[in-house]
Amino acid sequence: MDVDEFWLFLQRSREVTSDPDERLRWLGVHLARSPLSRIVDFQILLNQIRRRSDTYDMWEAANLIFGGDCSTDGFWYFQAWLIGLGRDTFDLVVTDPDNLADVPEVRRLAGRSMREWTGEWPEWEALSYVAAGAYEEATGEQEGVYDAMARRGHRDQSDPHPTGLSWSSRNPTEAVRRLPRLSRIFSLGASEP
């Protein structure tokens, strides 16, 4: 599997259903039927692609959306969600996190209490584990995908390690300067946890 196939595979899951759980089932079933190398490729590519969104600017954009409370885990799950939106959207927001203001899935959350986000939370933790589940399904080896990755010189990631300069979206002047459009639709304190 190469990067184009990875994105096509995710796109096909989204064409089948928009429900995240059903997409995971589809991805898991189709990965488990694939050669083991393809399952390992999927996890390696997921990690590599996720790394592109692993910046302080993106974390602070997520922090704005989450009302100032985007934890390390929350950001990790947010990155997977971004990937799940597809290649075009991912590339758009990785280029400039302020472009999240144009993403329909983000705009639908604006101005609403986080309590009302049932089924719409911008996170997709389980995408991180779909390859592990498929590998186990195919081989019976629990977490065997990580050993297979290690044999190929890759280690799995489980936390963000952002690049760029650290800053805080809690500073309204800085948030408006760095994320002007997103700051207009999500201001810290506008959504309650």
Q: What is the pLDDT of residues 56-78, one digit of tens each?
A: 999 999 999 999 999 999 999 99
CA atoms within 13 A on the CB side of 27: 31
Residue 190 covered by a domain: no
| Count of structural domains within the chain | 1
Q: In whole angstroms, what is the distance from residue 29 CA to residue 138 CA?
A: 10
Evaluate whether 17 touches 113 at the Cβ level (below 8 Å): no
Residue 144 belongs to some domain of the structure: yes
The first and second tokens of residue 51, run together, are: 């790394």
Q: Is residue 111 part of a domain?
A: yes
- Identify which of 106, 109, 101 has the alpha carbon closest to the alpha carbon of residue 81: 106
169 within domain boundaries: yes
Domain limits for position 53 = 3-185
Query: Do the domain assignments include residue 129?
Result: yes
Round to the nearest angstrom and report the end-to-end CA distance of the chain. Answer: 39
Three-state secondary-structure class, residue 193: coil
> Which segments of the chain have a pLDDT < 50?
189-193
Q: Which two tokens stand for residue 88?
A: 């075009």
Contact 100/60 with Cβ under 8 angstroms?
A: no
Instruction: Name residues whose C-beta falls within 8 Å of residue 140's C-beta, 6 or more positions apart in sequence.
Output: none
pLDDT at residue 124, rounded to an integer: 96
Question: Could you give the CA distance from residue 76 to residue 128 in angstroms, rounded to a whole number?
Answer: 9
pLDDT computed for residue 129 by the predictor: 96
pLDDT at 154: 95
3-state DSSP percent of the chain in helix, strand and coil, to 5: 65, 0, 35
Token representation of residue 170: 């809690």
Is 14 inside any structural domain? yes
Q: What single letter denotes the amino acid at residue 134?
A: A
Q: What are the residues facing 163 on neighbouring strands?
A: 55
- The Cα–Cα gap between 6 and 118 comes to 28
Per the structure block, which two tokens stand in for 74? 């929350």
Are the C-beta atoms of 43 and 149 separated by less than 8 Å? yes
192 domain residue, yes or no = no
Give the C-alpha separation, 21 to 151, whole Å.
Answer: 30
